[in-house]
Amino acid sequence: MKFFSSSSSRTALASVRAIAVLTLVLGMGYTTLITGIGQLILPAQANGSMITNQQGDTVGSALIGQAFTDQQGKPLPQYFQTRPSAAGDGYDGASSSGSNLGPENPELIEQIAQRKKNIAEFNSVPESQVPADALTASSSGLDPHISTHYAQIQQERVATARGLDIAKVRALVEKYTKAPDLGYLGEPVVQVLELNLALDQIQRG
């Protein structure tokens, strides 16, 4: 009986020591090491790929989209608009999700029809020119990019609202267009926040 009691005590003590060591090594040491490497090699990415304006103020992240609307939620004509978001009230990083509505869901069909009408009117283009990414939310609800097609149908409206030469706006869209990963995975996309910041900087001189 004493033998089993002694053996059990040693086993329990060894288990506690193993847990303590593994917690220190894997829970704290490994985390600290990886965080340090990230801060040393890729500090911007490790800190959330934050974007700042000319004044040095943080205005968002390159990884998370945001809306460019007024206080009533209406799109601002001087800015390129992002795609819809079903994450919380829109682009909420704490509520990342899609709408979970299937393609035959009546609510989704109605939403798409209304969005197509609104976007066509807002950009003075036929409804047939409104691309799919302007009508549907991404699976994460946080996509910071739009298709080049969606950017192109917005160029005239942004140029007019800002009093800029359309050629200058087109050049900026091209500048902030990201090529497909590895040159062939996916389609070219436009980083909306960076593009809108560049437009603001041009007008500030």
Render pLDDT for 120-153 as a digit per residue (tens, 0 to 9). 999 999 999 999 999 998 888 889 999 999 999 9
Residues 80, 132, single domain; the answer is: yes
Q: How many domains does the chain have?
A: 2
Reported as a pLDDT band with limits 50, 70 and 90, residue 43 is low
Matching residue, tokens 């140029």 = 159
The whole domain housing 23 covers 2-44
Better pLDDT: 120 or 29? 120
Reported as a pLDDT band with limits 50, 70 and 90, residue 44 is low
Residues 177, 193, single domain; the answer is: yes
Residues 62, 27, single domain; the answer is: no
Residues 78, 6, single domain; the answer is: no
Q: Measure the CA–CA gap between 64 and 192, rounded to whole angstroms.
A: 10
Q: Measure the CA–CA gap between 65 and 88, rounded to whole angstroms.
A: 13
CB 63 within 8 A of CB 144: yes
Residues 32, 59, single domain; the answer is: no
> Which of 68, 51, 69 lies closest to 60 in space, CA to CA?
51
Residues 192, 177, single domain; the answer is: yes
Matching residue, tokens 């910071």 = 144
Residues 81, 158, single domain; the answer is: yes
Q: Is the pLDDT score of 2 beyond 60? A: no
| Segment (H or E) for 177 | strand 177-178
> Which of 117, 116, 84 lies closest to 101 in space, CA to CA?
84
Residues 104, 11, single domain; the answer is: no
Q: What is the mean pLDDT of the chain?
A: 87
Residue 111 has, within 13 A of its CA and on its CB side, a CA count of 17
Residues 30, 80, single domain; the answer is: no
Q: Which two tokens stand for residue 126?
A: 């036929």
Residues 176, 152, single domain; the answer is: yes
Per-residue DSSP letter, 61:
E
Residues 86, 117, single domain; the answer is: yes
54-68 per-position pLDDT tens digit: 777 788 888 898 999
Residues 131, 75, single domain; the answer is: yes
> Which of 74, 167, 164 lies closest to 121 in space, CA to CA?
74
Q: Measure the CA–CA gap between 14 and 156, rounded to whole angstroms.
A: 71
pTM comes to 0.79
